[in-house]
Amino acid sequence: MDDKAIRVLIADDHTLFRKGMSMMVKTFPGVVSVHDVENGQKALDYLNENPVDILLLDLEMPVLDGWETSRKVVNNFPNTYIIMISMHDSLKLISDLIEIGVHSYLLKSAEPEEVQKAMISVINNDFYYNQLVAKALHQKVRSGNADKLLEDDKNQLTKREIEILELICQELTMKEIGEKLYISEQTIHTHRKNLMKKTEAKNAVGLVKFAIQNHIVSF
């Protein structure tokens, strides 16, 4: 995972699933620590004392569920990436969770390879954009519940910004985008900051949603 030492926290009230997930994640390259807890409150208690890079979070748990845990993690631990793992495939639920700041959403039936891919992607790109998340965001846009954008918003972006936005949506890292466009990584970060400001996106998923709304990408 780009030689980064990854610290992982797993929160799930089903012991067999949680322990099995923990054993699996420990085998992923780059993972240096894995801790598991049985509910959201214990996850928050652990985060208060221990920095974590990735939180693998169940949706339905006693004491504090995944929904409320996500809100608190986004507000209090912004450097922790959240990957929700659940049995539920409601597109509205997924889009709402993405809206509050969850970085990706996986079904519990996902293969280990996808879990690893999602972890790599959120570390490198701030999000993992699988087919399920894509469908959820597209439905959000089609339903008209997504934030309305001015018709000329797309035109307010420069040609270079649109180019970079397209590459972000392809899940390229800042370094990879810089190499592709023959410009420095620092310049890419500056363009990304400008994109976030112009689109009022809170994170990379917000940029993807903007790109879909304005037909910059279609997936």
Rounded to whole angstroms, how far apart are CA atoms 74 and 55? 11
List, as one string, the DSSP characters of 30-94: TEEEEEEESSHHHHHHHHHHS--SEEEEESS-SSS-HHHHHHHHHHH-TTSEEEEEES---HHHH
Q: Tell whether the torsion through CA atoms of 138, 142, 144 and 145 is positive or negative.
A: negative
Residue 88 to residues 58, 60, 105, 168: CA-CA distances in angstroms? 10, 10, 10, 28
Beta bridge partners of 9: 35, 55
For the question of whether the overall pTM of this predicted structure is more than 0.75, the answer is yes
Sorted by where each begins, the domain ranges of the chain are 6-140, 147-213
- Architecture category of domain 6-140 in CATH: 3-Layer(aba) Sandwich (3.40)
Mean pLDDT per segment of 10 residues, for the chain of length 219 residues? 82 96 96 97 98 97 96 95 95 89 93 96 89 82 55 70 91 90 92 90 83 78
Rounded to whole angstroms, how far apart are CA atoms 28 and 142? 37
Q: Beta strands 31-37 and 54-58: pairing type?
A: unpaired
CA geometry: angle 175, 180, 5, nearest 5 deg: 20
B/e letters for 138-151, b = 16+ CB within 10 Å, e = fewer, are: bebbeeeebeeeee
Quote the pLDDT of residue 98.
Answer: 87
Contact 25/10 with Cβ under 8 angstroms? yes
Q: What is the DSSP letter of 110?
A: -
- Which tens digits make up the pLDDT trace of 135-161? 888 787 777 644 444 455 555 889 999
Q: How many CB atoms lie within 10 A of CB 27?
A: 10
Q: What is the CATH number of domain 147-213?
A: 1.10.10.10
- Order of strands, edge to edge, in the sheet holding 104-107? 31-37, 6-11, 54-58, 81-86, 104-107
Quote the pLDDT of residue 155.
Answer: 53
Task: Give the distance, in angstroms, between the CA of residue 151 and the centroid of all CA atoms in the same chain.
Answer: 27
Q: Looking up tokens 């970085």, which residue turns up? A: 103
Quote the pLDDT of residue 133.
Answer: 84
Quote the pLDDT of residue 148.
Answer: 44
